[in-house]
Amino acid sequence: MRHLRKFLVLALAIILSACGKNDLIFQIEFDAVDGLKGGDLLMHGENIIGNVEDIQYSDKGNFLIDVNLQEQFRPLATHSALFYISDSHGSESKVLELVESSGEDNSPILEDQIIKGSNKVSGVTQKLQNQFGGALQSFSDSIQNSWTDWQEQTLDQQIAHLEQELDRILVELEDLTTSARKKLETTVIPQINKQIEALKEKLDELDRERELDDIEKKLDEINELIEV
């Protein structure tokens, strides 16, 4: 009996330690769970930020998912965030994904609150916009920095850098939404054109203007894909 009591105390301690005191516990409402089950992971990008505790069928005819969000990731849990059910890479199980969104309501989700889940299309679309938005900003910053530091970099470095960034845009362009393509056209393409014109002036002086042929072809390809 004493050994059993020790075992129960130890088991309880393990359970309590696995569930942080300041973790956020709340519920997400879905019309269907698509194979999601208790114990599946809550993900943000490549990070595991929590798990599904339980799934209940409600009186309203939908599903309530009990979610445990780890303490260090609580700032992600706002009312503008999107939660959707997705496939788990490398296995047949499902995951619950959190995607940040730029909605107006950034107030925090409260303990035991019930929020509405999003469908997969909305979640994946927002995820792609977030990913490409970061790429746009990174690209814009890198172009601006190279413009600012023009005197400190060689022409060969400028050409190589610009070509690498164009390759990156071409890879990500296929998954862009219409609004993201418009943003690319109005915010990034003008900077690229400015950079190319500056490079042309320098290369013309050295009789090396043909070195921009590949870059201009890639820019033409980007413009064609934007218009599709």
Name, in order, each residue with C-beta under 8 angstroms of 127's C-beta and a sequence gap of 6 or more. 97, 99
Tens digits of residue pLDDT in 16-62: 445 567 899 999 999 999 899 999 999 998 899 999 999 999 999 99
Burial annotation 71-108 (CB, 10 A radius, 16+ → b, else e): eebbebbbbebbbbbbeeeeeeebbbbbbbbeeeeeee
| More confident: 16 or 147 | 147
Which one, of 66, 148, 80, 84, lies nearest residue 109 by Cα?
80
pLDDT band at 160 (very low <50, low <70, confident <90, very high): confident
CB neighbours of residue 172 within 10 Å: 16
- CATH: 2.40.30, 3.40.50, 2.30.30, 2.40.50. Which one for 22-118? 2.40.30
CA distance 223 to 190: 11
Mean pLDDT value across residues 141-156? 59
Residue 79: partners with Cβ closer than 8 Å, 6 or more residues away: 103, 105, 106, 107, 108, 109, 115
**Mind listing the pLDDT tens digit for each residue in 91-133?**
788 999 999 987 778 899 999 999 999 988 788 777 766 766 6
Cα distance between residue 9 and residue 41, in whole Å: 27
Beta-strand runs (E) in 33-122: 41-44, 47-57, 63-69, 82-87, 94-99, 114-116
Res 134 pLDDT > 80: no
Q: Measured between alpha carbons, how far is 224 from 219 in angstroms, rounded to an integer? A: 9
How many other C-beta atoms lie within 10 A of the C-beta of residue 154? Answer: 8
pLDDT at 142 over 80: no
pLDDT digits (tens, 9 = 90+) for 164-210: 888 888 887 777 767 677 777 877 788 788 888 888 888 888 888 88
Confidence of residue 4 (pLDDT cuts 50, 70, 90): very low
User: What span, in angstroms and rounded, lies between the C-alpha atoms of 118 and 17?
Assistant: 31
Q: Report the chain's terminal Cα–Cα distance, integer Å.
A: 74
Alpha carbon 16 to its chain's center: 32
Q: Are strands 24-30 and 63-69 parallel, antiparallel or unpaired?
A: antiparallel
Would you say residue 141 has pLDDT above 70?
no
Contact 163, 170 (CB under 8 A): no
